[in-house]
Structure 1
Amino acid sequence: MPKKIVILGGGVAGMSAAHELIERGFAVEIYERQPHYVGGKARSVDVPDSATPGHQPLPGEHGFRFFPGFYRHITDTMKRIPYGQNRQGVFDNLVPTQRVMMARTGKPPVAAPVNFPKTRADWQALLDGLLHADTGLTDSDKKLFADRVWQLLTSSYERRQQSYERVAWWQYMSTDQQCGTRQPCPYELYCVGGLTHSLVAAQPQLMSTKTGGDILLQLLLLMANPGAHTDRVLNGPTNDVWLNPWLQYLKSKGVVYHHNQLTTALHCDPATRLISGATVLDLETQQTRTVQADYYLAAVPLERMAKLISPDMVKLDPTLGFVEHLSNPHLHTLNWMNGVQFYLREDVQLTKGHVICIDSPWAITVISQPQFWPDFPMSGYGDGQAKGLLSVDVSNWFAKGVLDWPLDDGTTGRKQACDCTLDEIVKEVWAQLEQSLNTPGLPPLLGPDILLRAYVDADIRPELLSAPVQALDVPTRSGHNDEPLLVNTANSWSLRPEASTGIANLFLAADYVRTNTDLATMEGANEAARRAVNGIIAASGAKVPTCRIWELHEPGVLAVLRWLDRRRFAQGLPWTNEVPWLGKLLHRLNYLFHQFRRFK
Structure 2
Amino acid sequence: MPELPAAARPSAVPRRRALLLGAAAGAAPGLAPGTARSASRRAARSVDGRRVAVIGAGVGGLTVAHELAERGFAVAVYERRAVPGGKARSLYVPHTGTGGRRDLPGEHGHRGVFGFYHNLPDTLRRIPLPGGQSVHSRLTPVRWVELARVTGRPDLPVPVDRWVPSSLSDVNLLISSLAGLLQEGVRLPPWEALFFAKQAVMLLTSCTERRFGQWEYVRWWDFIRADGMSEDYQKFLGGGVQLLQALRAPVASTRTCGQGMESILYDLAGRGSDTGGPFDRVFDAPTSEAWLDPWAAHLRALGVRFAFGRSVERLDLRGGRIASATARTVYGTTERIDADWFVVALPADRAVRLWNPALRSADPRLAAMDGLRHTWCSGIQYYLREQAPGIRGHVVHVDSPWKLASIAQSRVWSAPFARTWGDGRVRESLSVVISEWETPGILYGKPARRCTRAEVAREVWAQMKAHLADHAPLDDALLETWYLDEAITEDGSGGLRDDDPFLMNTAGSWDLRPEATTAVPNLFLAADHVRTYSNIDFASMETANEAGRRAAGAILAAAGGTGGGGGAEVRTFRGYEAPEFAAARALDRQRWRQGLRHVLDIG
For the criterion TM > 0.5, the same-fold answer is yes
Answer whether contact 1:465 1:480 (CA < 8 A) is retained: no
Specify every segment of 5 or more residues in structure 1 that has no aligned partner in the other structure, as ranges: 119-125, 180-184, 327-332, 405-413, 468-478, 580-600
Distance in 2 of aligned mates of 1:375 and 1:494: 45
Instruction: Give the aligned partner of residue 362 of structure 1.
Output: 402
Instruction: Report the alpha carbon displacement of residue 54 of structure 1 after superposing the two structures with TM.
Output: 2.4
Q: Secondary structure at the match of 2:335?
A: strand
Answer whether contact 2:117 2:542 (CA < 8 A) is retained: yes
Answer whether contact 1:350 1:368 (CA < 8 A) is retained: no
Residue 460 of structure 2 is aligned to residue 429 of structure 1: yes
Instruction: Report the alpha carbon displacement of residue 374 of structure 1 after superposing the two structures with TM.
Output: 1.8
The one of 92, 97, 109 aligned to 2:137: 92
Residue 469 of structure 2 is aligned to residue 438 of structure 1: yes
Residue 581 of structure 2 is aligned to residue 558 of structure 1: yes
Instruction: Report the alpha carbon displacement of residue 136 of structure 1 after superposing the two structures with TM.
Output: 4.5
CA separation of 1:116/1:348 partners in 2, compared to 1, >3 Å: closer, same or farther?
same
Instruction: Give the aligned partner of residue 156 of structure 1.
Output: 207
Q: Secondary structure at the match of 1:108?
A: coil
Q: Secondary structure at the match of 1:203?
A: coil
Instruction: Report the alpha carbon displacement of residue 338 of structure 1 after superposing the two structures with TM.
Output: 0.7
Instruction: Give the aligned partner of residue 593 of structure 1.
Output: none
Instruction: Give the aligned partner of residue 275 of structure 1.
Output: 322
1:447-505 deviations in whole A, cap 9, x for unaligned?
Answer: 211111111010001135678xxxxxxxxxxx811110001110111111100000000
Q: Secondary structure at the match of 1:365?
A: strand
CA separation of 1:345/1:153 partners in 2, compared to 1, >3 Å: closer, same or farther?
same
Map 1:252-291 → 2, pairs under 5 A: 252-269=301-318, 272-283=319-330, 285-291=331-337
Map 1:524-539 → 2, pairs under 5 A: 524-539=543-558
The one of 477, 481, 490 aligned to 1:449: 477
Answer whether contact 1:101 1:355 (CA < 8 A) is retained: yes
1:504-541 deviations in whole A, cap 9, x for unaligned?
Answer: 00000111111132211111110111111111111111
Distance in 2 of aligned mates of 1:465 and 1:552: 46
Instruction: Report the alpha carbon displacement of residue 86 of structure 1 after superposing the two structures with TM.
Output: 4.8
Aligned positions, number: 531
Instruction: Give the aligned partner of residue 585 of structure 1.
Output: none
Instruction: Report the alpha carbon displacement of residue 178 of structure 1 after superposing the two structures with TM.
Output: 2.2
Map 1:274-313 → 2, pairs under 5 A: 274-283=321-330, 285-313=331-359
Instruction: Give the aligned partner of residue 548 of structure 1.
Output: 571
Instruction: Give the aligned partner of residue 498 of structure 2.
Output: 481
CA separation of 1:559/1:134 partners in 2, compared to 1, >3 Å: closer, same or farther?
closer
Distance in 1 of aligned mates of 2:182 and 2:203: 26
Distance in 2 of aligned mates of 1:578 and 1:62: 40
Instruction: Give the aligned partner of residue 258 of structure 2.
Output: 213
Structure 1: which amino acid aligns with 2:544? Answer: A
Instruction: Give the aligned partner of residue 590 of structure 1.
Output: none
Answer whether contact 2:79 2:307 (CA < 8 A) is retained: yes
Structure 1: which amino acid aligns with 2:473? Answer: L
The one of 137, 140, 150 aligned to 2:188: 137
Instruction: Report the alpha carbon displacement of residue 373 of structure 1 after superposing the two structures with TM.
Output: 1.3
Structure 2: which amino acid aligns with 1:336? Answer: W
Q: Secondary structure at the match of 2:587?
A: helix
Instruction: Give the aligned partner of residue 587 of structure 1.
Output: none
Residue 262 of structure 2 is aligned to residue 193 of structure 1: no
Answer whether contact 2:238 2:250 (CA < 8 A) is retained: no
1:226-264 deviations in whole A, cap 9, x for unaligned?
Answer: 744110010001111100000000001100100000010
Instruction: Give the aligned partner of residue 390 of structure 1.
Output: 430
Distance in 2 of aligned mates of 1:228 and 1:56: 31
Distance in 2 of aligned mates of 1:90 and 1:77: 9
Structure 1: which amino acid aligns with 2:538? Answer: L
Structure 2: which amino acid aligns with 1:156? Answer: C
Distance in 2 of aligned mates of 1:281 and 1:542: 33
Distance in 2 of aligned mates of 1:451 and 1:202: 32
Map 1:66-145 → 2, pairs under 5 A: 66-87=112-133, 89-106=134-151, 107-116=153-162, 135-145=186-196
Structure 2: which amino acid aligns with 1:522? Answer: M
The one of 71, 77, 80 aligned to 1:24: 71
Answer whether contact 2:101 2:421 (CA < 8 A) is retained: yes
Instruction: Report the alpha carbon displacement of residue 84 of structure 1 after superposing the two structures with TM.
Output: 2.2
Residue 456 of structure 2 is aligned to residue 419 of structure 1: no
Answer whether contact 2:526 2:544 (CA < 8 A) is retained: yes
Structure 2: which amino acid aligns with 1:178? Answer: M
Instruction: Give the aligned partner of residue 280 of structure 2.
Output: 231
Residue 573 of structure 2 is aligned to residue 573 of structure 1: no
Answer whether contact 2:183 2:190 (CA < 8 A) is retained: no
Instruction: Report the alpha carbon displacement of residue 85 of structure 1 after superposing the two structures with TM.
Output: 2.2
Instruction: Report the alpha carbon displacement of residue 380 of structure 1 after superposing the two structures with TM.
Output: 2.3
Distance in 2 of aligned mates of 1:142 and 1:483: 37
1:131-161 deviations in whole A, cap 9, x for unaligned?
Answer: 9978451001110111111101111111111
CA root-mean-square deviation = 2.2
Distance in 2 of aligned mates of 1:190 and 1:43: 29
By relative contact order (CA 8 Å, sep 6+), the higher-ranking structure is: 2
Structure 2: which amino acid aligns with 1:559? Answer: A
Structure 1: which amino acid aligns with 2:482? Answer: A
Answer whether contact 1:68 1:231 (CA < 8 A) is retained: yes
Instruction: Give the aligned partner of residue 5 of structure 2.
Output: none
CA separation of 1:86/1:337 partners in 2, compared to 1, >3 Å: closer, same or farther?
farther
Instruction: Give the aligned partner of residue 121 of structure 1.
Output: none
Specify every segment of 5 or more residues in structure 2 that has no aligned partner in the other structure, as ranges: 1-46, 165-176
**Comparing 337-346 and 12-21, the one that deviates more:** 337-346
Answer whether contact 1:154 1:561 (CA < 8 A) is retained: yes
CA separation of 1:76/1:456 partners in 2, compared to 1, >3 Å: closer, same or farther?
same
Answer whether contact 1:379 1:385 (CA < 8 A) is retained: no
Distance in 2 of aligned mates of 1:533 and 1:465: 44
Q: Secondary structure at the match of 2:405?
A: strand
